[in-house]
Amino acid sequence: MPSISNPGTFAERTQKSPREVGGGFVGGLRARDPFNGGGLMGVIARYREHLPIGPNTPEVDLHEGSTPLVESRNIARALGLKQLFFKYEGVNPTGSFKDRGMVVAVAKALEAGHRVLMCASTGNTSASMAAYAARTGVRAIVVVPSGEIALNKLSQALMYGAKVVAIKGGFDKALETVRELCHRYPVALMNSINPHRIEGQKTAAYEVIDTLGEAPDYLLLPVGNAGNITAYWKGFREYHAAGRSTRLPRMVGAQADGAAPIVTGQPVANPRTVASAIRIGNPASWEGATSARDESGGAIEAVTDTEIISAQIRLAGSEGLFCEPASAAPLALLFRLVQSGRIEKEATAVVVLTGSGLKDPDAALKNVEPPIELEGDARTLAKVLKL
Ligand X SMILES: Cc1ncc(COP(=O)(O)O)c(C=O)c1O
Q: Which residues of the chain form contacts with ligand X (CB under 6 A)? A: 96, 122, 124-125, 192, 222-228, 277-278, 324, 326-327, 354-355
Name which of 21 and 277 has its Cβ closer to ligand X. 277
Q: Are the C-beta atoms of residues 232 and 205 closer than 8 Å to each other?
A: yes
> Rounded to the nearest whole angstrom, what is the least distance from the CB of residue 150 to ligand X in the complex?
10
Give Cα 211 distance to the centre of its chain.
17
Amino acid at site 330: P
CB of 96 to ligand X, least distance (A): 5
- Closer residue to ligand X, CB minimum distance, 76 or 275: 275
112-118: Cβ within 8 A, 24+ apart? 112/188, 114/138, 114/186, 114/187, 114/188, 115/139, 116/141, 116/185, 116/186, 116/187, 116/188, 117/141, 117/187, 117/188, 117/190, 118/142, 118/143, 118/178, 118/181, 118/182, 118/187, 118/188, 118/189, 118/190
- If the CB atoms of residues 84 and 280 are measured against ligand X, the closer one turns out to be 280
Q: Which residue lies nearer to ligand X by CB, 100 or 114?
A: 100
Q: Are 166 and 146 in contact (CB under 8 A)?
A: yes
The angle that helices 286-296 and 227-241 make with each other, rounded to 10 degrees, is 40
Q: How far is the CB of 347 from ligand X (least distance, A)?
A: 23
For the CB of residue 355, give the shortest distance to ligand X in the complex, in Å.
3
Chain mean position to CA 327? 7
Cβ proximity to ligand X: between 93 and 227 the closer is 227
99 vs 214, beta carbon nearer ligand X:
99
> CA-CA distance, 167 to 77, in Å (whole number)?
45
All residues at 6 or more sequence positions from 156 whose CB lies less than 8 Å from its CB, including other chains: 94, 95, 126, 127, 130, 131
Q: What phi and psi, each to the nearest 5 degrees, are found at residue 71?
A: -80, 135
CB of 66 to ligand X, least distance (A): 18
Closest-approach residue to ligand X (CB): 355
Instruction: In angstroms, give the least distance from the CB of 57 to ligand X.
Output: 23
- Any bridge partners for residue 355, and if so which? 96
Kindly tell me which of 10 and 218 has the beta carbon lying closer to ligand X: 218
| Shortest spacing between CB 362 and ligand X, in angstroms | 15
